[in-house]
């Protein structure tokens, strides 16, 4: 999932970093009191207790306030009803296999049901269309499908549907953006190279039994399959994809009401024949498309829009004045880091990278630039994932003197350039880091180069970055594998640091090969290599602020920063 503010709709969700909110009133301090009083909280504790203080609060308050619960396996949830309107940005497209951005995938999540679903409490895969799955070796997988699911046009969804959809998505002629999410399926390479029509590893044994054979063991498969790139598509889609994406026919909790009105709205009604255990709570979801989150914020204030999941940073200081209790702070998996081009001689030395990391005061940046609205990062794995740790990074502690010594010994450059993408307000924190480095390390001068996002990516691809750069990463599915493998394994597509470590590659392989239940420690071991070598310096995990109107409740967002709209309850209609 990209972190790319290259287009306005993407800018919408990357926007929260656009400008640095100033400390404006005392209320904000109260809001963040937990962190102000105990800034190390996030580093010591872990997991459930820590997962977004306010998120937990919001959940508790909501389930106390009315009987609808949060919908996860709660049969009462369907008694909700009502209509909600919620923010999104203009999707690039509404094809499940072609969507890798936020604006569209949160919409698709409501229209489609994959084989598995994310359990938003444990961040594990739970049964959805697949009622059960088995594997002995993490290579051969058998998924038993429910026979009750139908597409919104009445067509049944069978094992063959998945076979056809995935083959279509992988076929290069169809140019689907999520094609390479399927690259562990046996036969993927052959189809991409035009040597085969279909992947031999995907087989429908009968109508409701799907066999998946992989090229190597991969215990994370069930959680990977929650991603929208694996949703099934009906016959109608393959006949006319352009018509299909104007009003996607899915098999999910909600079905389209009318067509997607570009730049304006997407409406959907609850699909009453959806056979899952936890159908959506609202009767109807109206996605309102905004190209500016500031405008959306005003519309929530005016009661024209029920929910905005990405409060602009400039508003965070006044959020309590504007909304009273109708807001929440939610952790996400969005990881913002300072990468180092290890392919340049200057940055090859690991001591240098450690020195830079130890010369960064992450707490200070969070307080001064973001008013405490982020979660300082002391690891690579997002705190929202159960296996993440907050005390694993030895070189993330702020140790300016030690850092200066180390930097001196390693012969670090006294002048260098830092790189950012422009137009998205990353400059504030990048400059703050530069200032910290200049005051804590023997560095005389740091220059900045800001580039348009497309140009920025080009510079990375051509390996012409000469100094520290900022980038981000958002998980497409909640797996430690996705937080590390695409970014740090040798030759990986998004390995902009060109980090290469046999030990790390081996550790990731070992973790991937393992059964999901045994994988946590193995992924931690892989993370340890990264925290030793620091190809990227962890900076922070972004928190998202949600505001909503009085009439809705139980509003929270998941690790991708998506508001779980299917769980929202309506107080009065």
Partner 1 sequence: MTGYIIRRLLQFVPVLIAATLIVYAMVFLMPGDPIRALSGDRPMSDAVQAQLRDQYNLDDPFLVQYGKYMWGVITQGDFGTTFQGRPVLDIIQQGLPVTLTLAAVAFGFQAIIGAIAGILAAVYKDSFIDRFVQVSLVIAVALPTLAIAFLLQLTFGLNLGWFPIAGIRDGFVSYILPGIVLAAVSTGIVARMLRSELIEALQSDYVRTATAKGMKRSRVVTRHGLRNSLIPVVTFLGADLATMMGGAIVVESVFNMPGLGGQVFRSIQAQENTIVVGIVTLFVLFYVVVNLLVDLLYAALDPRIRYD
Q: Is 19 among the residues that bind partner 1 (CB under 8 A)?
A: no
Token pair in block for residue 251: 């098999």
Dist. CA 164–CA 232, nearest whole Å: 9
Whether residue 328 contacts residue 545, with contact meaning beta carbons closer than 8 Å, is answered with yes
> Helical H runs in 393-479?
400-409, 427-440, 453-461
Q: Is 457 among the residues that bind partner 1 (CB under 8 A)?
A: yes
Token pair in block for residue 169: 């998505």
What phi, psi does 245 have (nearest 5°)?
A: -80, -5
Q: Is 350 among the residues that bind partner 1 (CB under 8 A)?
A: no
Q: Is 464 among the residues that bind partner 1 (CB under 8 A)?
A: no
Q: Which is nearer to partner 1, 121 or 259 (CB)?
A: 259
Dist. CA 521–CA 231, nearest whole Å: 30
Q: Is 183 among the residues that bind partner 1 (CB under 8 A)?
A: yes
Closest approach, Cβ 451 to partner 1, in A, equals 8
Closest approach, Cβ 263 to partner 1, in A, equals 3
Among all chains, which residue has been given the structure tokens 């998996």? 333
Sole binder of partner 1 in the list 149, 208, 274, 290 (CB under 8 A): 290
The sign one gets for the Cα dihedral 440, 441, 444, 447 is negative
Sole binder of partner 1 in the list 149, 151, 473, 562 (CB under 8 A): 473
**By CB under 8 A, how many residues form the interface with partner 1?**
62
Contacts 24+ apart (CB under 8 A), 32-41: 32/371, 32/372, 32/373, 35/372, 36/372, 39/363
Restricting to residues 97-116, which ones interact with partner 1 according to CB under 8 A? 98, 100-101
503 closest CA partner among 511, 495, 515, 514: 511
Q: Is 498 among the residues that bind partner 1 (CB under 8 A)?
A: no
Q: Is 257 among the residues that bind partner 1 (CB under 8 A)?
A: no
41 HSE (CA, 13 A, CB side): 15
Closest approach, Cβ 229 to partner 1, in A, equals 11
Among all chains, which residue has been given the structure tokens 């500016």? 292
Restricting to residues 371-430, which ones interact with partner 1 according to CB under 8 A? none
User: Coil, strand, or helix at residue 87?
Assistant: strand
Sole binder of partner 1 in the list 86, 93, 113, 512 (CB under 8 A): 93
Q: Which is nearer to partner 1, 154 or 324 (CB)?
A: 324
Name the percent of the chain in helix, strand, coil, to the closest 5.
40, 20, 40
Q: Is 242 among the residues that bind partner 1 (CB under 8 A)?
A: yes
Q: Is 243 among the residues that bind partner 1 (CB under 8 A)?
A: no
Q: Is 298 among the residues that bind partner 1 (CB under 8 A)?
A: yes
Q: Is 179 among the residues that bind partner 1 (CB under 8 A)?
A: yes
Closest approach, Cβ 265 to partner 1, in A, equals 8
Q: Which is nearer to partner 1, 93 or 554 (CB)?
A: 93
Whether residue 123 contacts residue 113, with contact meaning beta carbons closer than 8 Å, is answered with no
Dist. CA 32–CA 41, nearest whole Å: 12
Residues in the chain: 573
Q: Which is nearer to partner 1, 45 or 303 (CB)?
A: 303
Characterize the bridge pairing of strands 469-473 and 327-339.
antiparallel
> Helical H runs in 256-393?
293-301, 313-316, 319-323, 350-358, 362-370
Among all chains, which residue has been given the structure tokens 């703050």? 432
Q: Is 471 among the residues that bind partner 1 (CB under 8 A)?
A: yes
Q: Is 455 among the residues that bind partner 1 (CB under 8 A)?
A: yes
Closest approach, Cβ 289 to partner 1, in A, equals 8
The sign one gets for the Cα dihedral 560, 310, 84, 70 is positive
Count other C-beta atoms under 10 Å from residue 316's C-beta. Answer: 23
Q: Which is nearer to partner 1, 110 or 267 (CB)?
A: 267
Give residues with Cβ within 8 angstroms of 343, minimum separation 6.
463, 497, 498
Q: Is 192 among the residues that bind partner 1 (CB under 8 A)?
A: yes
Q: Which is nearer to partner 1, 112 or 297 (CB)?
A: 297
Sole binder of partner 1 in the list 261, 391, 445, 448 (CB under 8 A): 261
Closest approach, Cβ 420 to partner 1, in A, equals 13
Dist. CA 553–CA 31, nearest whole Å: 19
Dist. CA 89–CA 292, nearest whole Å: 8
Closest approach, Cβ 454 to partner 1, in A, equals 3
Closest approach, Cβ 358 to partner 1, in A, equals 26
Dist. CA 489–CA 509, nearest whole Å: 10
Token pair in block for residue 548: 């909503």
Dist. CA 470–CA 453, nearest whole Å: 12
Dist. CA 457–CA 454, nearest whole Å: 5
Q: Is 83 among the residues that bind partner 1 (CB under 8 A)?
A: no
Q: Which is nearer to partner 1, 314 or 388 (CB)?
A: 314
Sole binder of partner 1 in the list 132, 205, 493, 518 (CB under 8 A): 493
Q: Is 481 among the residues that bind partner 1 (CB under 8 A)?
A: no
Sole binder of partner 1 in the list 6, 18, 152, 253 (CB under 8 A): 6
Piece in contact with partner 1 (CB under 8 A), picked from 171-179, 215-223, 380-388, 553-561: 171-179
Q: Is 496 among the residues that bind partner 1 (CB under 8 A)?
A: yes
Sole binder of partner 1 in the list 23, 30, 75, 264 (CB under 8 A): 264
Q: Which is nearer to partner 1, 492 or 525 (CB)?
A: 492
Sole binder of partner 1 in the list 148, 292, 394, 397 (CB under 8 A): 292
Closest approach, Cβ 143 to partner 1, in A, equals 24
Angle at 266 between CA 123 and CA 254, to 5 degrees: 50
Q: Is 550 among the residues that bind partner 1 (CB under 8 A)?
A: no
376 closest CA partner among 14, 45, 16, 43: 43
Q: Is 195 among the residues that bind partner 1 (CB under 8 A)?
A: no
Q: Is 291 among the residues that bind partner 1 (CB under 8 A)?
A: yes
* Residue numbers at the binding site for partner 1 (CB under 8 A): 1-4, 6-10, 90, 92-93, 98, 100-101, 172-177, 179-180, 183, 192-193, 241-242, 261-265, 288-292, 294-296, 298-299, 301-302, 304, 452-458, 460-461, 471-473, 486, 493-494, 496
């Amino acid at each position: 999932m990209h972190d790319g503010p290259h287009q306005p709709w993407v800018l919408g969700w990357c926007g929260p970093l656009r400008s640095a909110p100033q400390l404006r009133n005392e209320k904000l301090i109260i809001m963040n009191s937990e962190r102000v009083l105990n800034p190390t909280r996030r580093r010591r504790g872990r997991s459930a207790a820590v997962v977004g203080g306010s998120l937990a609060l919001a959940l508790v308050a909501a389930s106390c306030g009315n009987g609808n619960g949060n919908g996860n396996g709660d049969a009462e949830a369907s008694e909700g009803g009502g209509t909600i309107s919620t923010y999104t940005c203009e999707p690039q497209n509404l094809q499940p296999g072609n969507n890798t951005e936020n604006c569209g995938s949160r919409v698709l999540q409501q229209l489609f049901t994959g084989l598995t679903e994310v359990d938003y409490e444990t961040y594990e895969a739970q049964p959805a269309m697949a009622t059960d799955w088995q594997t002995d070796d993490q290579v051969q997988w058998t998924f038993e499908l429910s026979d009750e699911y139908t597409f919104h046009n009445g067509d049944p969804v069978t094992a063959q549907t998945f076979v056809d959809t995935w083959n279509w998505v992988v076929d290069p002629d169809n140019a689907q953006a999520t094609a390479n999410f399927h690259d562990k399926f046996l036969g993927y390479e052959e189809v991409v190279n035009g040597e085969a029509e279909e992947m031999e590893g995907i087989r429908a044994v009968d109508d409701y039994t799907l066999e998946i054979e992989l090229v190597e063991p991969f215990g994370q498969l069930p959680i990977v399959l929650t991603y929208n790139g694996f949703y099934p598509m009906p016959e109608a889609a393959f006949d006319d994809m352009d018509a299909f994406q104007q009003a996607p026919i899915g098999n999910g909790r909600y079905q389209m009401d009318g067509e997607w009105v570009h730049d304006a709205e997407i409406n959907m009604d609850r699909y009453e024949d959806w056979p899952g255990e936890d159908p959506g709570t609202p009767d109807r979801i109206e996605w309102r498309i905004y190209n500016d989150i500031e405008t959306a914020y005003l519309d929530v204030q005016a009661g024209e829009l029920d929910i905005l999941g990405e409060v602009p940073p400039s508003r965070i200081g006044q959020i309590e004045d504007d909304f009273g209790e109708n807001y929440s702070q939610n952790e996400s998996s969005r990881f913002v880091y300072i990468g180092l081009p290890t392919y340049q001689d200057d940055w090859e030395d690991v001591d240098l990278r450690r020195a830079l990391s130890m010369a960064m005061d992450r707490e200070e940046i969070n307080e001064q630039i973001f008013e405490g609205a982020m979660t300082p990062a002391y690891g690579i794995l997002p705190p929202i994932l159960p296996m993440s740790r907050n005390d694993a990074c030895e070189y993330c502690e702020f140790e300016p003197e030690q850092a200066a010594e180390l930097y001196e010994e390693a012969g670090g450059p006294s002048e260098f350039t830092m790189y950012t993408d422009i137009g998205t307000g990353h400059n504030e924190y990048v400059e703050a880091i530069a200032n910290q480095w200049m005051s804590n390390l023997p560095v005389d001068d740091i220059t900045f180069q800001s580039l348009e996002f497309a140009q920025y990516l080009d510079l990375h691809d051509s390996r012409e970055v000469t100094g520290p750069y900022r980038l981000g990463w958002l998980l497409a599915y909640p797996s430690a594998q996705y937080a590390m493998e695409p970014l740090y394994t040798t030759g990986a597509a998004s390995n902009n640091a060109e980090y290469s470590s046999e030990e790390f590659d081996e550790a990731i392989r070992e973790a991937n090969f393992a059964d999901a239940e045994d994988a946590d420690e193995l992924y931690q071991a892989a993370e340890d290599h990264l925290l030793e070598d620091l190809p990227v310096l962890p900076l922070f995990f972004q928190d998202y602020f949600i505001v909503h109107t009085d009439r809705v409740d139980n509003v929270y967002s998941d690790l991708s920063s998506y508001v779980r709209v299917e769980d929202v309850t309506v107080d009065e209609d």
